[in-house]
Amino acid sequence: MSLAELGEFGIIERFAKRLERPIENLVTGIGDDCAVIRPAPGRHTLITSDMMVAGVHFLLDRTEPSDLGHKALCTGLSDIAAMGGRPVCFFLSLALPGGTPVSWLERFFDGLGALATEFGVTLAGGDTVASPVVAVDITVLGQGEPKNLVRRKGARAGDLILVTGYLGASAAGLHIIKNEIGINNLPGRLHEAAALACHAHRRPWPRLREAAVLVRDAPPTSMMDISDGLAGDLRHITGANGVGAEIWAGSLPMIPGLQDLAAELGNSADLWALSGGEDYELLLTLPEPQAEAAMRAVRGANGTPLTVVGRITDSLEVVFLDRQGRQFSPIGGHDHFGGHQ
Ligand code: ADP
Ligand code: MG
C-alpha cells in the first residue's frame, strides 16, 4: 500500500498518534487546531527547527528510513542539549510523494519513535502534505531554568575548549556511504573503524544527559553543538565573544583506527575531525579549574569522554596547530595535512 491510498488522515491516525504520550506540560496534543502547552513555572521555553530535504540533506536511495527518522529528531534534541535544556515535545511536518510505500513510513516512525521514547518526548502535532520530494521538518520544544541556559556568548580568553565524544567519524561514514565503499573488504581494524564511522553518521546521539550534568556540576561559559565541523562552528563562539582560539590537532578525540582508515581511503582524519559535519557533539568552553569536574561529570553520565582540544585567546583569530606546534589551515583541501599524517 502507498501513502496515496492511506491518506493524510490515515498517516496521522496510524503513525503520528502512536508517538503521543501523556506528559505534564501538554494539555492538548494531536487532533485539534493547535497543541496547547502549559508553561512550567519559572522556566524558559526553548524552540528549535531543523529541515531535511531529499537530495539536499540526505540521499533517499541510500538512507534507511529508520535512520532518517532518528536523525531528524536528533538534530533538534542536540540543539536543546547545546542550550542546557530539557526537551518536552516536538512537531513533525512531513512532505511525501504519494507513491511512498507505507512500509517506508513505518520504518521512519520506528526510528523516530525509539529516540523519542529514549528521551521521554512526545509528538504534539505537525503537518502532512503531498510533495514531489521527501522533506522532513521537526520543531522541538524544550525548557530550562533561566540560570542554567548556556549560550554561545560567554567564553572568555583563557578558557579551555572541550568537546564531548569523538570528532570526524560522521564525516568518514558519509564518505564511505556516498562513495559506496565496500567496508567488508577492509582489514579487521579498519573494518571496525569504518563500521563505527557509518554508525556515527547514521545514528548520531544527542548529548542531552551530558549537557544536563555539565550545567549542574561544571557550568560551561559557552556551548553549542557541532553540526558543521569544529573549525567552522567554533567561529560562532569566538565571533559572539570578540575572542580568538587555538586548536590543537594532536588532541582531537577520534574513534580508534580513524587515522589509518583515512590513510587507506586517501583522506585526512584531521580534516574529517575539523571540517566534517554532523558529529552532533557538544563544543564548550570552561575556566581551566573546572575542567576536571566537567570531565568526571560527563563520563559519569554516559561513559562519554570530554576532551580538551584548545584554548580561547584574546587574539581575535582562530589558529590551528599541528602535532609539531606548526600553524596550518584546515580549510582548502587535505594537501595542507600532508606533513603530519
Ligand atoms: P489543520 O488543517 O487544522 O492544520 P491538520 O488536518 O493538518 O489540521 O492536522 C490535524 C491534526 O493532526 C493536528 O493536530 C496536527 O497537528 C496533527 N498532524 C498533522 N500532521 C501531523 C504529523 N505529520 N505529525 C504529527 N501530527 C500531525
Ligand atoms: Mg494542517
Distance CA 169, CA 320 (A): 20
Maximum pairwise Cα distance, the chain: 63
Residue 14 in contact with ligand 1 by CB distance below 6 A = no
Residue 33 in contact with ligand 1 by CB distance below 6 A = yes
Residue whose entry in the numeric block shows the C-alpha cell 531535511: 52
Distance CA 181, CA 290 (A): 43
Predicted local confidence at residue 339, as pLDDT:
41
pTM: 0.94
Residues 6 or more apart whose Cβ sits within 8 Å of residue 61: none
Cα dist. 270→65, 168, 341 in Å?
Answer: 30, 8, 8
Helix or strand or coil: residue 86? strand
> pLDDT digits over 44-63, tens only?
999 999 999 999 999 999 99
> pLDDT digits over 239-274, tens only?
999 999 999 999 999 999 999 999 999 999 999 999
Please give the distance, rounded to the nearest whole angstrom, from the Cα atom of residue 34 to the centre of ligand 1.
Answer: 9
Distance CA 314, CA 63 (A): 43
Residues 6 or more apart whose Cβ sits within 8 Å of residue 59: 178
The single-letter code of the amino acid at 312 is I
Q: What are phi and psi of 25, to 5 degrees?
A: -80, -20
The closest residue, in CA terms, to atom 19 on ligand 1 is 127
The single-letter code of the amino acid at 317 is E
| pLDDT averaged per 10 residues in sequence order, the chain, 341 residues | 88 94 93 96 97 95 97 98 98 96 97 98 97 98 97 98 98 95 92 98 98 97 96 96 97 97 96 94 98 97 96 96 92 42 31
The helix (H) or strand (E) run that includes residue 171 is: helix 169-178
Q: What distance lies between CA 260 and its chain's CA centroid?
A: 25
Task: Give 207-260 as a DSSP string.
Answer: -HHHHHHHHHHS--SEEEE-SS-HHHHHHHHHHHHT-EEEEEGGG----TTHHH
The closest residue, in CA terms, to atom 8 on ligand 1 is 33
> In 3D, which of 87, 103, 101 has the Cα closest to residue 43?
87
Please give the distance, rounded to the nearest whole angstrom, from the Cα atom of residue 127 to the centre of ligand 1.
Answer: 5
Pocket test for ligand 1, best of 128, 131, 138, 139 (most atoms within 8 A of CB): 128
